[in-house]
Structure 1
Amino acid sequence: MKERSRRGAIFRRFILAALIIGALSVAPSAARLIDLGVRVGEGAAVESAVAPFYLAPSPAPKAAAPGTIIRQEPVVGAPEGAKAWRVLYHSTDVDGKDTLVSGLVIAPATPASDSSRTVVSWAHPTTGTAPRCAPSSGIAPFVFIEGLSDLLAAGHVVVATDYAGMGLAGPPSFLIGATEAANVLDIARAARLVEGIGASNRVILWGHSQGGHASIFAAQRAPSYAPELTVAGVAVAAPATNLGALLSADIGDVSGVTIGAYAFTSYAEAYASRLPGNPLASILTTAGASAAPVMAKLCLLGQNSELHTIAGPLIGRFVLGDPTKIPGWSELLVENTPSEAPLPMPLFVAQGAKDTLVRPEITAAFVAAQTQAGTVVESHVLPDATHGTVALDSMPNLMKWMGALR
């Protein structure tokens, strides 16, 4: 009875959190809630057994080819008709150094041995930056992969990286284009090593918010970083593109302070050699520099109220000045803003008109620049979509676009 009560409490907290962050675009049906409850219950039952998967191997493994899997295990609660594995695989960081990254591989349950299934590499929106904020380690890791059921029904293998430093302790990755790109591409490589799922070299990149940033960087870097992969297209929903403009637009509210705390602490670590000796003090107020590392340890899902409690008093007194004009930091924001150079594959962009985090005008400027550069772009502005709902709201258009890709 106590176990049932515990699972019920977990389920209620999970549903509340999902609704708060907008992961569900409409009120879920009774059938969907029952299915979700079953999956959450299954995940809660094995939650304590998951933690050892994310412990660093000892002794530390030698560097290996990106995409090499060193650990995998089945994951319970996969969507009906699918199988899933949690994987730990080799990737690289912003400096090109070998690192281990965790993530998920999900495939239709029907065996396939002919390597004919397209791999959709899903890049998740911001969940935090600490190891325990990794989506794959949660009690219902499949719920937030937007469009998962549609993608599996179309016969695709779906992979979802946690990004470096999440799940397993490692180098920072938040809005660091080179690291995110490698992580997104290398888990597609890893899928080909899972026996019987038929993962091919054909890849479609799909990401939301931070994941849109990761997907665009992956698309730009794929020809040189993973030339054996054929990236057929890249799809993004409310992507983080012009980081300087986004930061300037959002820094005046709790969401902007939170995202700023994640970004500044990640950059301070990843680019320590290119920044002043006390990097956070060079861009943040005394209060901001003290609070940012604390916020970086908190996850958006489950610790939102704590983040807001810290961020609220910092509104208007978080940064020392315009980050786009502070030496060292301004260059890093430009470096981690996706290039306007044309992409070598078609681009799908969905943007919610009611998005107050990734502003529609910033996404529109990116779309215009890509179109002018010669990229084949399909763009949709959804009039009623918010930042949280745009990815799910765009699925009908996205699936049609995917189906037309060569």
Structure 2
Amino acid sequence: MSPSARSRNPATQAPNHNPGIRELAQQYFDTRALLSPAHRIFSALPHTSALVAWGITAVLFIAGGLLLLKPLTAVLVAFYFWIAATAWLLFTVLRTTKHRLARTLVIVGFVALAAIVVGSAYTLNTLPAVGASLLFVGALARIMTLKKKTPAQKILRLSVAAMYVLVGASSMFWPDITLVVMGYIFALWLIITSFRVSSRILKGEVATGHQPAEATPSTPHNSKNIAPLIGAFAVGLSLIFVGMTVAGATMWLRSTFNQVDSFYSYDTTNLPEPGTLLRIGAYNGNVPENLLAKRMLYTTTGTSGQTTVASGIIAIPADMTEADKPHMLLWEHSTTGLAPACSPSAGSTALSAQNIPAFVDVYKENWGFVAPDLTSFEQTRATPFLIGETQAAYSLDAARAARTLTLADITSTEDTIDAPAQGSDLFSPETVVWGHSQGGHAALWTAKHASSYAPELTISGVAALAPIAEPFEFTQSLIDTKQSSVAMMLSYIVDSYSSAYDDVTEQDYVRFGASPIVNSLDSRCTDSSSLASAMSMILLGAEGTNLYSGIDESSTLGQRLTQNAAVGTFDVPVFYGWGTQDEVVTPQLHEKYGEQLCTANPTATINTYVDDTHLDVLRNPQALATSPHGAKTG
């Protein structure tokens, strides 16, 4: 730094008094500007040859261009760049200032910086929060430095502060998008800086041996010229509009999410044995006129073998009597997500023809439905996604609990009934298990596990539509697609297995720096909240396909996935259907599993549906017909 620049640096001046917060805020701006990487580059240009200056320009431009194509890599580079720049800024201020308050704040800054560095040894989960905090600090500093500013400058500073607050608050809800945007901003900063350097080179500001003269700030004067005010208002309104748009979009999108109400809150100490009905309550979703539906809480066995609380829906014909004894259809839903809010019972469409095959025909035949959510409410990140025995336990215990419900309680108009009275079984002894996608896997495991886990139940048959029957092969097919759209499904798998098995660690399979993105993906459902995930994947581009690594057959995760394949013999009739245009579970996987199923179970029925996609088979009116086109017996 030149002597003239040093004399202007507020951090190097010996003050005659201890400054207040407002003065420190102004010094924060001044010092940051003087010690910023861009300013240091510009300050070095007069002492640099044109060749070196053009080299700096080329490096900045090429690096920015490459990082613009790899925003996640840009975040990592930006993170360490920011750590180094901030450490240098704090060290310079600490070395040069004598202000007690300033030195105290600098020491606090060093401690915070050290905590961020230590915390980022394995993950960058804190980085989005750090970015939001910097926006809040910037907003506060701009508000505190309004004194002696012109009206136009005050308008601009207040507008920037407002935008920072709105964007910073919104970014806390979307850490994955925040992280990716930070990567883009850093890459663009490199490119813009390269243009600024090249502009100074073209102006002849290199190899001069002295600093270029700086413009003297104009002194405010009384003038009737309102052009600056009009310009400031226009720019300010634009900035506030950007902030309000981001905040408004956040509020709207979050308002569309399912909400988990107090019904699901239950004391988990001293829980009774698995299969015990704990609570029933009103189901607030759409229900056909001739069905009566309730939500239920019951006990089951969790991923660690502990007794835990699960939820689901029970629905019976609205006009049934205790003598009717309807058949029980145990329905295992498609993939909805891991979070409690993703539970079908928390939504409005759990009982619909869009989500249950042959739904209208079944309830018109006076069948009853029991639909477990397959979601953990006891603790976050413990949902047994594609974990066979645990999903089976959730399902079988739902059937057990539903069979103890009395007709008086299920027809009651009370909003919630705790510890419902146990009555005689409302259903006929036979239970049929159906499932689709994730639920198809759960249905197959329910049928396999029933005789050992709940031998008192009679499982008459199982139907699996487009099931994820072999989790390891399915995971490999997702990775092989090289499409960022599969990142959410992979996040569910990695999260669920790392929560269920002590020997599976998420950090071993998630690329360094990608944890905030993966954690955001696995916290969202497949409903409207997935729009944020889709935006994140679009912004990531090609890097969205490289969030995971090391998931192979020899890895611990790979072995655990293989253990959860629904293979082998079944004690009950098996129906297996899939579409030839399935874009989630590939036809090749279906064909391979179908051959294995037929070999082990010669009486199994396998149906293929020409031109049907993954969801088409769920809504195909012939999905569970006895003799559809393409049917064959093993």
Structure 1 unmatched ranges of 5 or more = 1-43, 402-406
1:355 aligned partner, one-letter code: D
User: Which residue is 2:270 aligned to?
Assistant: 62
- In structure 2, what is the Cα distance between the partners aligned to 1:260 and 1:242? 14
**Given the alignment, which residue of 40, 51, 65 partners 2:261?**
51
- In structure 2, what is the Cα distance between the partners aligned to 1:345 and 1:304? 37
CA distance 1:382–1:93, change in 2 (3 Å)? same
Residue by residue over 1:118-174, the C-alpha shift from the partner in whole angstroms, topping out at 9 and shown as x without a partner, is: 211111111111111111111343233343322211221111111132698573211
How big is the alpha-carbon RMSD for the aligned residues of Structure 1 and Structure 2?
Answer: 2.2
**Given the alignment, which residue of 364, 371, 374 partners 1:163?**
374
8 Å contact kept, 1:343–1:375: no
1:224 aligned partner, one-letter code: S
Residue 601 of structure 2 corresponds to residue 382 of structure 1? no
CA distance 1:301–1:389, change in 2 (3 Å)? same
- In structure 2, what is the Cα distance between the partners aligned to 1:148 and 1:169? 32
Residue 408 of structure 2 corresponds to residue 199 of structure 1? no
User: Which residue is 1:229 aligned to?
Assistant: 457
1:52 aligned partner, one-letter code: S
User: Which residue is 1:257 aligned to?
Assistant: 487
- SS in structure 2 opposite 1:315? helix
User: Which residue is 2:624 aligned to?
Assistant: 398
Residue by residue over 1:363-393, the C-alpha shift from the partner in whole angstroms, topping out at 9 and shown as x without a partner, is: 1211211111135211111112111121221
Larger of the two Rg values belongs to structure = 2
- SS in structure 1 opposite 2:545? coil
**Given the alignment, which residue of 247, 253, 268 partners 2:498?**
268
User: Which residue is 1:183 aligned to?
Assistant: 394
Give the alignment's TM-score, normalised by structure 2.
0.52
User: Which residue is 1:298 aligned to?
Assistant: 524
Give 1:284 shift.
Answer: 1.9
Give 1:326 shift.
Answer: 4.7
Q: What are the residue-to-residue correspondences of 1:5-404 with 2, within 5 Å?
A: 51-55=261-265, 57-58=266-267, 60-76=268-284, 77-114=286-323, 116-143=325-352, 144-165=355-376, 171-196=382-407, 198-251=426-479, 252-271=482-501, 273-275=502-504, 279-312=505-538, 313=540, 314-321=543-550, 323-339=551-567, 341-393=568-620, 395-400=621-626
- In structure 2, what is the Cα distance between the partners aligned to 1:190 and 1:202? 15
8 Å contact kept, 2:329–2:433: yes
8 Å contact kept, 1:132–1:167: no
- In structure 1, what is the Cα distance between the partners aligned to 2:598 and 2:349? 38
- SS in structure 2 opposite 1:117? coil
- Using CA pairs under 8 Å that are at least 6 residues apart, name the structure with larger relative contact order, 1 or 2: 1
- In structure 2, what is the Cα distance between the partners aligned to 1:332 and 1:397? 31
CA distance 1:399–1:185, change in 2 (3 Å)? farther
- In structure 1, what is the Cα distance between the partners aligned to 2:583 and 2:623? 22
CA distance 1:192–1:331, change in 2 (3 Å)? same
- SS in structure 1 opposite 2:462? strand
CA distance 1:177–1:98, change in 2 (3 Å)? same
Residue by residue over 1:282-312, the C-alpha shift from the partner in whole angstroms, topping out at 9 and shown as x without a partner, is: 1121143332111111111011221122334
User: Which residue is 2:159 aligned to?
Assistant: none
Residue by residue over 1:330-363, the C-alpha shift from the partner in whole angstroms, topping out at 9 and shown as x without a partner, is: 2111111212x11111111110111111111211
Residue by residue over 1:90-136, the C-alpha shift from the partner in whole angstroms, topping out at 9 and shown as x without a partner, is: 11123321111011001111223247322111111111111111111
- SS in structure 2 opposite 1:112? coil
- In structure 1, what is the Cα distance between the partners aligned to 2:358 and 2:371? 12
Aligned length: 346
Aligned residues with identical type, % of pairs: 28
- 251-260 vs 182-191, which deviates more? 251-260
2:496 aligned partner, one-letter code: S
- In structure 2, what is the Cα distance between the partners aligned to 1:96 and 1:399? 38
- In structure 2, what is the Cα distance between the partners aligned to 1:151 and 1:171? 32
CA distance 1:287–1:388, change in 2 (3 Å)? farther
Give 1:184 shift.
Answer: 1.2
- 353-362 vs 287-296, which deviates more? 287-296
- In structure 1, what is the Cα distance between the partners aligned to 2:590 and 2:291? 34
Name the structure where helix makes up a greater proportion of residues: 2
Give 1:83 shift.
Answer: 0.3
- In structure 1, what is the Cα distance between the partners aligned to 2:520 and 2:623? 40
8 Å contact kept, 2:291–2:363: yes
- In structure 2, what is the Cα distance between the partners aligned to 1:218 and 1:377? 16
- In structure 2, what is the Cα distance between the partners aligned to 1:316 and 1:54? 36
8 Å contact kept, 1:131–1:166: yes
Give 1:74 shift.
Answer: 2.8
CA distance 1:140–1:193, change in 2 (3 Å)? same
Give the alignment's TM-score, normalised by structure 1.
0.80
